[in-house]
Amino acid sequence: MESPFRLIDIDRSAPPPPVHDQVFVGVADRPRDVTGDFDVLLTAEPDARRPWVSCADPHAAARHIRDTVARQPAASVALVQVLRMGRALPPSDRLLVESLAYSALQGGAGFRDWLAVARPGTPRPTVEPVRLRRDGDRLTVVLERPWVRNAFDAATRDALCEALEVAVADPSITRVDLCGAGPAFCSGGDLTEFGSSRDTAEAHLVRVRRSPAGLLLRCGRKVTARLHGACVGAGIELAAFAGRVAATPDTAIRLPEIGMGLIPGAGGTVSLPARIGRERTAYLALSGGVLTAAEALRWGLVDEITQTPPEPAPRTPTAMGVTERRSRI
């Protein structure tokens, strides 16, 4: 069987047509206009413009991606296929394709192998994982599981859907602040729930029916996501739907799903390409590396860097006309 990874040195070779079941990576000393349907483009030139990714050693970066593809071929190929298909689909259909691919991978050997060695720990749920505060035309939505860095579990997903449904339904809400309490905005999916679904087809239906990403497609233009600390997996996938993304200097962005035998499943194959393009999205996912706030600003994944983390809404009313409640499951 042909390798699922193909590397082309663009400085020395004309790119052949890509193969649909291969990850197609190009490297060059300097960025250039290229023909061919590359999934990732790497260059040694600093501060290269999209779709290129600047690397101190692009060939070493390509070898790292090659090794990732070798370890998780099904997830790697599914990622680039979903990103390619997304160019011809409206955002709502891209979410469906992403979810279908995610469910297929949940039944795959790559995810089963990861589960076999993962040590997810003990669930630490709360009945009130999201807090809301209304102040005039502003709605503040706070992820509130700071003891697990706001890891995104099913209860948080459902509560966030409830909060975003308020933003969608109420036209008097013109501004929404999405924040995370504690040391991080969101550390990604709660690993204690990974592998708990025995029916991957039903899991797909649940993701479609209770989708924060789908609601953010409808109200994202009035949302400001306020990032700090770890923004991993769902933590950046959902935030990238916001009309504006602000980040503190300590923000660290990462897409770790490929290493688990999965692809981003919280809308990241839709939200990130809209901001940074599919090639840089593929690079983030396939490299598994950390993107700093400064790098994210240069790429357009965040819109501004703020010096202080957001202050979560107070638990009690502080002024006339200010109300607060917790989002209930």
- Residue 313 sits in a domain whose CATH number is 3.90.226.10
Each residue's pLDDT tens digit, 98-155: 999 999 999 999 999 999 998 778 788 788 999 999 999 999 999 999 999 999 999 9
Residue after which a domain boundary falls, among 27, 43, 71: 71
Residue 146: closest CA among 190, 181, 108: 181
pTM score of the predicted model: 0.92
Each residue's pLDDT tens digit, 75-91: 999 999 999 999 999 99
CB-CB contact of 251 with 229 (8 Å):
yes
Band of pLDDT at residue 318, cut at 50, 70 and 90: very low
Instruction: Say how far apart CA 143 and CA 160 lie, in whole Å.
Output: 8
| For residue 12, pLDDT beyond 70 | yes
Residues 52, 128 within the same domain:
no
Residue after which a domain boundary falls, among 71, 105, 124: 71
| For residue 31, pLDDT beyond 90 | yes
Residues 85, 36 within the same domain:
no
Band of pLDDT at residue 68, cut at 50, 70 and 90: very high
Instruction: Say how far apart CA 258 and CA 132 lie, in whole Å.
Output: 33
How high is the pLDDT of residue 124?
A: 84
Helix ranges, the chain (H): 58-71, 73-86, 91-106, 109-117, 154-169, 200-209, 212-219, 234-237, 268-276, 278-287, 293-299
Greatest alpha-carbon pair distance for the chain in Å reads: 69
Helix (H, G, I), strand (E, B) or coil at 225: strand
Tokens representing residue 103 in the block = 């469910």
Residues 54, 84 within the same domain:
no
Tokens representing residue 177 in the block = 């602040």
Helix ranges, 119-180 (H): 154-169
Residues 42, 160 within the same domain:
no
Rounded alpha-carbon distances, angstroms, from residue 174 to 88, 160, 325: 31, 18, 19
Residues 60, 82 within the same domain:
no
Residues 38, 58 within the same domain:
yes
Residue type, 302: V
Residue after which a domain boundary falls, among 21, 39, 71: 71
Instruction: Say how far apart CA 226 and CA 302 lie, in whole Å.
Output: 10
In this structure, the number of other CB atoms found within 10 A of the CB of residue 249 comes to: 12
Instruction: Say how far apart CA 70 and CA 171 lie, in whole Å.
Output: 49
Band of pLDDT at residue 329, cut at 50, 70 and 90: very low
Residues 47, 112 within the same domain:
no
Backbone φ and ψ of 55, nearest 5°: -140, 145
Residue 232: closest CA among 266, 270, 261: 266
Number of domains in the chain: 2
Please state which of the ranges 163-167, 174-178, 273-277, 309-313 shows the lowest mean pLDDT: 309-313
Residues 96, 160 within the same domain:
yes
For residue 22, the enclosing domain spans: 5-71
| For residue 327, pLDDT beyond 50 | no
Residues 126, 43 within the same domain:
no
With pLDDT > 90 as the criterion, what percentage of the chain qualifies?
Answer: 81
Residues 157, 285 within the same domain:
yes
Rounded alpha-carbon distances, angstroms, from residue 24 to 40, 70, 73, 168, 225: 7, 13, 13, 39, 33
Instruction: Say how far apart CA 165 and CA 18 lie, in whole Å.
Output: 42
Residues 43, 81 within the same domain:
no
Residues 64, 90 within the same domain:
no
